[in-house]
Structure 1
């Protein structure tokens, strides 16, 4: 007996029990029991199905020598190295690794564009050199002391793409880096498919301009299927 057979058997076993007991409930005209007695008997048996299924599962696991618990699919981590025209996925949003990589490149003379949940003042203070910063936020621009042009709503994807395109055009032929740190924030305010389309276009634009894209991501914030799709498309 193999695993697939055991899983199929277990599923059929449970479904068969349910069907049998539903039929028993319907047999309220049997002479040996009153209708109430049959219903009570069947309902009590139905409640015990999960317990009986667990017992049958253990029996099958002993027979096939392996667990029948759902298998966990592992997300394959991308194997990458920085180079002009590349997109680099960095595990973990809002941490210092991506920002530190961005800072090091800007300090080395690269032109930098940072799109982040961190405010422009904090980013520029950390980087220590001039760079372009867009703040992903829903904060009211008139309530703060940041330049209005530095504010970017998570739904303003067209504006974001325009800023990126202008940055790449302006710095074509020169070393440049883009840090897009706010994937989850954009997705939760739009949707995954919309973000993926933007990211795919950005990857191609970065490649043509010989720039570099740093794209932090958080595996726990996305379903596994979407996470794998993102990695496959952006690696």
Structure 2
């Protein structure tokens, strides 16, 4: 929802720009029609007010781009935390350009050469700064979106929506430059159709995100940290490791050790993601909530098990040094027939082996029957505090 709130705020600023321009135009063309000086001042004022709102709109759209392409930004607090932790970043430069342009708009001297038709002469530095700002907006969206989509190897639908949004964002400042600066400089007044076109471009952006938060459902492989200390755990890659324990605590410790030493991790868990983030201090690692009822965009339903398979397989395909923690194996068994869960393990075992990834699978062996455990055991290596009861050689190499 935060993403949509940012976009709605941007649209609000755009509406303010249009409304201010219309109201000022009505005012100056009424009683002041016989006063050329007042009319010229009104034209300049309307341009300044609208241009200011336009670049405030640009700042808001830039924030939307950041939120859409940065996993985990689900609230204003998350956004502020990201800005603080990642300072300086590309959005800081983006805002600097927009603010500099707004200041230029306020201090520049305009000359109204004619009021009918409206011809306005702008200073060369004004045209340069505005042109640079427009180029910044037009390039910032493709830079952020294309980089993000390439990293996540998004599907055709997501790519299509991405291109629509980029076209809408890039087209808006270009149309502003044309209809509000360049054409009036030559006495061509096409502001009315320009407003229609700009609203259509904003509508294109809204269509691109539609019902869901745009891009936020994609899992982006990211290492939590790159500590220089020696890792506490050393596991051979290409295997599924069944961590036999009561509560999953050792599996989480192994997972945290890997992701803080450069591995890109994905956590799928029955616990609330914010609780996991707090308990294990995970800020960058993507966490999916294994739940039938949760409505968050990072929730994965347990049935059918292909939901889990798709998330894991996509992650290990695009990640490097991937390690996946699947916490909630008993929950998957409870909501699916065992044959489908066994098929899931077969598929994941092959995928993990091919990509030289690691899959950590904590569960309590007492929750399943002996036959089921025997079939699972054929696909995994046993670790954890309860593993020695089933395999005397099972241990975690430290």
Query: What are the ranges of 5 or more consecutive residues in structure 2 without an aligned counterpart?
Result: 1-233, 382-398
1:181 corresponds to 2:336: no
- The match for 1:134 is 288
Please show how residues 35-184 of structure 1 align to structure 2 within 5 Å. 82-129=235-282, 130-141=284-295, 148-171=296-319, 174-184=320-330
User: Using the alignment, how far apart are the partners of 2:360 and 2:291 within structure 1?
Assistant: 20
Please show how residues 178-217 of structure 1 align to structure 2 within 5 Å. 178-217=324-363
CA drift of 1:87 comes to: 1.5
SS in 1 for 2:297: helix
User: Using the alignment, how far apart are the partners of 1:140 and 1:229 within structure 2?
Assistant: 31
Decide whether the 8 Å contact of 1:177 with 1:214 is kept in 2. yes
Decide whether the 8 Å contact of 2:305 with 2:340 is kept in 1. no
Per the normalisation by structure 1, the TM-score is 0.59
CA drift of 1:185 comes to: 0.5
Structure ranking higher on relative contact order (CA contacts 8 Å, 6+ apart): 1
Decide whether the 8 Å contact of 2:264 with 2:285 is kept in 1. yes
- State the superposition RMSD in angstroms: 1.6
Alpha-carbon distance change, 175 to 200 in structure 1, aligned in 2, over 3 angstroms = same
User: Using the alignment, how far apart are the partners of 1:230 and 1:138 within structure 2?
Assistant: 24
Alpha-carbon distance change, 158 to 82 in structure 1, aligned in 2, over 3 angstroms = same
User: Using the alignment, how far apart are the partners of 1:203 and 1:209 within structure 2?
Assistant: 10
User: Using the alignment, how far apart are the partners of 1:87 and 1:232 within structure 2?
Assistant: 10
Query: What are the ranges of 5 or more consecutive residues in structure 1 without an aligned counterpart?
Result: 1-80, 142-147
SS in 2 for 1:233: coil
SS in 2 for 1:109: coil
SS in 2 for 1:108: coil
Count of residue correspondences: 147
Alpha-carbon distance change, 231 to 188 in structure 1, aligned in 2, over 3 angstroms = same
Decide whether the 8 Å contact of 1:115 with 1:179 is kept in 2. yes
CA drift of 1:93 comes to: 5.0
User: Using the alignment, how far apart are the partners of 1:156 and 1:93 within structure 2?
Assistant: 25
- The match for 1:230 is 376
CA drift of 1:94 comes to: 3.2
Query: Which structure features the higher share of helix residues?
Result: 2
